Structure 1
Amino acid sequence: MSYLTEDTSAEVVNGRIGAQTDPRLREVMSSLVSHLHAFIKEVELTEAEWDYAIEFLTRTGQMCDDTRQEFILLSDVLGVSMLVDAVNHRLPEGATQSTVFGPFHVKGAPERPMGATISLDGKGELCLFEGRVLDVDGTPIENALVDVWSDNEDGFYDVQQPDIQPPFNNRGVFRTGPDGRYAFRGIKPVSYPIPDDGPVGQMLAALGRHPWRPAHMHFMISAPEHARLITHLFVAGDDYLASDAVFGVKPDLIVGLEPVAEGDAMPPAEQGEAAPVKWRAQYDFRLKKQG
């Protein structure tokens, strides 16, 4: 029989794991316990600090609901989300880089005709996003679903303002044809702060960090026989590219927006859409084969 001491704490706790425990669960939990106990010993954590940590995590959970996930924010600002993404998406040369999913994706966004406008509140300068979905060898991918979403001109997603923004504002799904091309009208992205009125925001303030994300458009691209891609396109020149609060920026995902001159060719717009497009963002996504 082993009793817990300061020197033997991790070994004693891990020694209580049952013989029939799932091997992967045993591996993960044993490592977690070992690192957690080593951390406590290294910093000589006080009882008051541990009490505060428990209270912090409790408040983090209490901030979570159907439209806000404070634990995702915590994972994001600690760089954990991006590290898990990096470990799980080691991509072949030429494949488009992935980045964080974020807490504001909504299932069930409507599938729209190619070239349609996803901005429904009339705010912001329209930007044409266009390009192709390709295999890593450059072959166009037909029937790829391009799921896109962004904040509005005021820096809020529709789920953050359900009484202000129309449902599915700045959201849409597009399906590529044989040429692999996609095109839609969104708004010129704007930078915005992550929600900082909760425990995560208080932690950032205590650490002397800002809560801002650089301007970006979210993309989730799925295609038969290809690995799903979750990524952003970031706007070149944004003030927060080098200090993204969630560490999501990768150089290959930064694009310059080109001003659109009157008379420039545009894909067909939906009936009744009269607002002019002022910007253009062009980017080809390259997906790796499944497996």
Structure 2
Amino acid sequence: MQESFVDSAPIRNLLDRAAGLDGDGGDARLKAIMRDLLEATARVIVRHDVTESEFWGAVKYLQDSAGEIGLIVPGIGLEHFMDLYMDAKDAEAGLAGGTPRTIEGPLYVAGAPLVEGPDVNLTVDPDDTTSLYMTGQVRGPDGEPVRNAIMHVWHADSQGWYSHFDPTKEQTPFNNRRRIKLGDDGRYAFRSKMPKGYSVPPGGATDVLMKAVGRHGNRPAHVHFFIEAPGYRQLTTQINFGDDPFAHDDFAFGTRAGLLPVPMRQGDSASITFDFEMQRAVDQEDEKFSTRARLEV
């Protein structure tokens, strides 16, 4: 079957009606997006001669994978694509510089304790592994210290589990999670226990898909950050440990140039010095978080 089948009058009429284009109600932007999405799907079906069994197999996979959508989206590169798209729009608008954005991932939890001080401890549970010390400064585009910044930090434990998502249920709420209120000098310092990279749940929907396309489902050890401050663009980023074996082969495509510090390891401790540079906000919307659904406890 030729792909031009999708351009035939009966199919165009079907797609128009399915997207609601034949009526005045509904959201015009959503209807336009829906129309393009339906056509793209139809073209894939025809181009690859998708069988009825394959079609319904895909539908079942989507039904079964609902609990892992937060892993599947970064795993298939769409979350990283959004970062690249936003970068391209920034460049088009003449906005450049600053610490690179990268994926948030699905494991942020709102409401972590807000703390101050030059030496914040993220890890409250026993964890017999290397200690991590991380320090640096949050600066603006002209090198000025960013005042009144709040740094959200979260990472896994030495087994690769995140508090609130740990299937062992052994972690204290908000273990390895804090919001740090920075001083006028924009400097931060925290200590914790060294996180380990994780893999997607064995046999789960993400694992099934990765294996089907010949890929693995591993992430390197990493630490997540949100940084917010009045007058600056909210920053979503993370560092991947540059000496991790998956540092350049992250299944979630979170690795970006400039975000790969190598910990200085000595005995049972390791340290990282990393400075963040924020862009100035164009308007108040720039200062806000995206409206992505996030866990609140």
TM-score by length of 1: 0.85
> In the alignment, what sits opposite 1:118?
122
Q: Does 1:23 align with 2:28?
A: yes
8 Å Cα contact 2:80/2:253 also seen in 1: yes
> In the alignment, what sits opposite 1:49?
54
> Of residues 256, 281, 289 in structure 2, which corresponds to 1:290?
281
> Of residues 3, 21, 45 in structure 2, which corresponds to 1:40?
45
Q: Determine the C-alpha separation between the residues in 1 that align with 2:243 and 2:203.
A: 28
List alignment gaps of at least 5 residues for structure 1: 65-69, 262-276
Most deviating of 34-43 and 15-24 = 15-24
Q: CA RMSD in A?
A: 1.9
User: Structure 2: which amino acid aligns with 1:113?
Assistant: E
Most deviating of 140-149 and 153-162 = 153-162
- How many Å apart are 1:93 and its aligned residue? 3.2
8 Å Cα contact 1:142/1:176 also seen in 2: yes
- How many Å apart are 1:6 and its aligned residue? 5.1
Cα distance change of structure 1 residues 185 and 25 upon mapping to structure 2, 3 Å threshold: same
- How many Å apart are 1:141 and its aligned residue? 0.6
Cα distance change of structure 1 residues 137 and 193 upon mapping to structure 2, 3 Å threshold: same
8 Å Cα contact 2:206/2:217 also seen in 1: no
- How many Å apart are 1:80 and its aligned residue? 0.5
Most deviating of 178-187 and 44-53 = 178-187
Cα distance change of structure 1 residues 137 and 196 upon mapping to structure 2, 3 Å threshold: farther
Aligned ranges 1:119-268 → 2 under 5 Å? 119-123=123-127, 124-161=129-166, 163-259=169-265
> In the alignment, what sits opposite 1:108?
111
Q: Describe the SS at the equivalent of 2:109.
A: coil
Cα distance change of structure 1 residues 10 and 148 upon mapping to structure 2, 3 Å threshold: farther
Q: Determine the C-alpha separation between the residues in 1 that align with 2:29 and 2:100.
A: 28
8 Å Cα contact 1:235/1:256 also seen in 2: yes
Q: Determine the C-alpha separation between the residues in 2 that align with 1:139 and 1:130.
A: 17
- How many Å apart are 1:245 and its aligned residue? 0.9
What's the CA shift string for 1:122-166, capped at 9, x where partnerless?
212111111111112211111111000000011111123262111
Q: Percent identity?
A: 30
8 Å Cα contact 1:129/1:280 also seen in 2: yes
Cα distance change of structure 1 residues 20 and 154 upon mapping to structure 2, 3 Å threshold: same
Most deviating of 41-50 and 195-204 = 195-204
Q: Describe the SS at the equivalent of 2:196.
A: coil
Q: Describe the SS at the equivalent of 1:251.
A: coil
8 Å Cα contact 1:10/1:34 also seen in 2: no
Cα distance change of structure 1 residues 122 and 37 upon mapping to structure 2, 3 Å threshold: same
8 Å Cα contact 2:147/2:186 also seen in 1: yes
8 Å Cα contact 1:10/1:37 also seen in 2: no
8 Å Cα contact 2:240/2:260 also seen in 1: yes
- How many Å apart are 1:72 and its aligned residue? 1.4
What's the CA shift string for 1:158-199, capped at 9, x where partnerless?
123262111111111101111111111122232221234321
8 Å Cα contact 2:6/2:42 also seen in 1: no
User: Structure 2: which amino acid aligns with 1:71?
Assistant: I
- How many Å apart are 1:87 and its aligned residue? 1.5
TM-score by length of 2: 0.83
Q: Determine the C-alpha separation between the residues in 1 that align with 2:252 and 2:14.
A: 33
Q: Determine the C-alpha separation between the residues in 1 that align with 2:163 and 2:202.
A: 17
Cα distance change of structure 1 residues 7 and 107 upon mapping to structure 2, 3 Å threshold: same
What's the CA shift string for 1:67-97, capped at 9, x where partnerless?
xxx1111111110111112213445332111
> In the alignment, what sits opposite 1:269?
none
8 Å Cα contact 1:221/1:229 also seen in 2: yes
List alignment gaps of at least 5 residues for structure 2: 283-297
User: Structure 2: which amino acid aligns with 1:44?
Assistant: D
Q: Determine the C-alpha separation between the residues in 2 that align with 1:227 and 1:172.
A: 20
8 Å Cα contact 1:98/1:229 also seen in 2: yes
User: Structure 1: which amino acid aligns with 2:54?
Assistant: E
User: Structure 2: which amino acid aligns with 1:85?
Assistant: D
> In the alignment, what sits opposite 2:287?
none
User: Structure 1: which amino acid aligns with 2:29?
Assistant: R
What's the CA shift string for 1:9-51, capped at 9, x where partnerless?
6522343213454332233122212211111111011000001
Count of paired positions: 265
